[in-house]
Amino acid sequence: MDIPKVISKKPFVLGLLFVILILMATSPLYATRYTVILLTSIFMYVVLTVSWTVFSGPTGYVSLAPAAFFGAGVYTSALLGFVLPLPAVIIMGGLSSSCLALVVGALTLRLRGIYFVMFTFGLVELLLHFVLWWEVNITGTTGRVVPTVGNTMVYYLMLTILVIVILIAYLIKRSRFGLALQSIGECEEAAAHTGVHVTALKITTFAVSAFFMGAAGAIMATRWTYIDPRIAFNPILSFLPVLMAIFGGMGQLYGPVIGAAIFTYLEEFLITRFPYYYMLIFGIIMVIAILYLPEGLVGLTQKLWNRIWGAKHGDP
């Protein structure tokens, strides 16, 4: 018999999560400044990757718009940073991204597959070049200054968003809502015929996932203190969440979290050790991950796990 079925795993998992959360919440007290900054970057990528997976994971619509939503949040922070208090700025950053997502979602309803991919990536480039042109020709500047709040504050804000996004992702996955999203991914026509309100569901989820990307952007802007369009709408921020999700494995909620954490650490490690070869090595790892890890790290560990435990219990 399977051991996990006899003894419930739930208390252990909850306890483990609680311990991790306590460790994370107290880490600025004992960890070095470098660790806190690194953890903030990891949190940012986890937020981007998990919120990307909320929409694109179950539905199968590959969105390359994260950089657009992130950038919208960054610019909200730059525009409102000196006017509103920080929590309000972050919420406004999220909301402006959500509004953008609602418009984009409503426009791209008819697009599927590769056309949706191209449209969302076109959106990033369009916003980048438009804001670039606007800043140079209308405002007369290229960059903007954002009020700073200090590393520890940024860390806690990012941690809060992280906890909320994981909670929301978990709730969506467990609810009828998540089931309906899954059915869209399997077969959209069939989902519509069984009574799923396909259009409304897709747009809402797209906007929800954009909210957290925008909020993450608004927070990160306060750490960077100086921003310009090329930093805010960096196309790499569109590709990295996709790769991190694939690298981690999208079958389970913790897949994207692990993928983003390992990938960000790897990036940091490569930049410090091999500054000249870092992007090259990065590209090679990407290709290898796509070739040899179709189910991601989580899929690989599950396969190994099943092989070990399955053999012991006579299960193939």
Q: What residues line the site for other proteins (CB under 8 A)?
A: 62, 107-108, 110-111, 113-115, 117-119, 122-123, 125-126, 129-130, 133, 136-137, 235, 239, 242-243, 246, 276-277, 279-280, 282-287, 290-291, 294
* Least distance in angstroms from the C-beta of 50 to other proteins: 18
DSSP 60-112: ------HHHHHHHHHHHHHHHTTTS-HHHHHHHHHHHHHHHHHHHHHHTTT--
Q: Would you state the torsion angle of the CA atoms of residues 169, 173, 174, 179, taken in this order, to the nearest 10 degrees?
A: 150
Q: Which is nearer to other proteins, 121 or 211 (CB)?
A: 121
| C-beta of residue 300 within 8 angstroms of C-beta of residue 288 | no
Across the chain, the runs of DSSP E, i.e. the strands, are: 144-145, 226-227
Of 167 and 287, which has the nearer Cβ to other proteins? 287
Which tokens in the block code for residue 29?
């007290």
Judged on CB neighbours under 10 Å (0-12, 13-18, 19+), 132 is middle
Closest to other proteins by CB, 138 vs 308, is 138
In whole angstroms, how close is the CB of 2 to other proteins at the nearest point?
Answer: 27
Residue with Cβ nearer other proteins (122 or 310) = 122
Smallest distance from the beta carbon of 84 to other proteins, in angstroms? 29
Q: How far apart are CA 119 and CA 125, in angstroms?
A: 10
Least separation, in Å, of the C-beta of 55 and other proteins? 15
Q: Which residue has the tokens 């991790």?
A: 20
Smaller CB separation from other proteins, 121 or 155? 121
Give the residue with the Cβ less far from other proteins, 15 or 113: 113
* Smallest gap from residue 246 Cβ to other proteins (A): 7
On whether the CB atoms of residues 161 and 211 are closer than 8 A, the answer is no
- Minimum distance from residue 279 beta carbon to other proteins (Å): 5
Token readout for 261 is: 């954490």
